Amino acid sequence: MLTVTGWDEAVAWFPTLGGYVERQFLRSLQMSTPISRAEAKNVVKKIAAREVFEVFIADDRYASGMCHSLESIGGKVFLRRGN
């Protein structure tokens, strides 16, 4: 489970996710979760709006990269692996 519990712009080293990183995050999200493309786009919209969210990660190969992307824009990220 990947959870963003809040946002802190003061610790961000990038102001936004950016086009390329956003597309990569969307791709990683689709490959890591059982959600549809439309649902994945909604998660990306939540990121852009700096909303708190939680998403189930079925395949955590890309989880570290997704966490890094979120942390780079100020996300307070919690990743729970396993059961």
Q: Residue holding tokens 């709006």?
A: 49
CA 59 vs CA 15, 21, 55: distances in Å: 28, 20, 12
Residues of the chain by 3-state class (helix, strand, coil), percent to 5: 50, 15, 35
pTM: 0.87
pLDDT digits (tens, 9 = 90+) for 24-47: 889 999 999 999 999 999 999 999
Contact 70, 5 (CB under 8 A): no
Contact 74, 51 (CB under 8 A): no
pLDDT digits (tens, 9 = 90+) for 44-57: 999 989 999 999 99
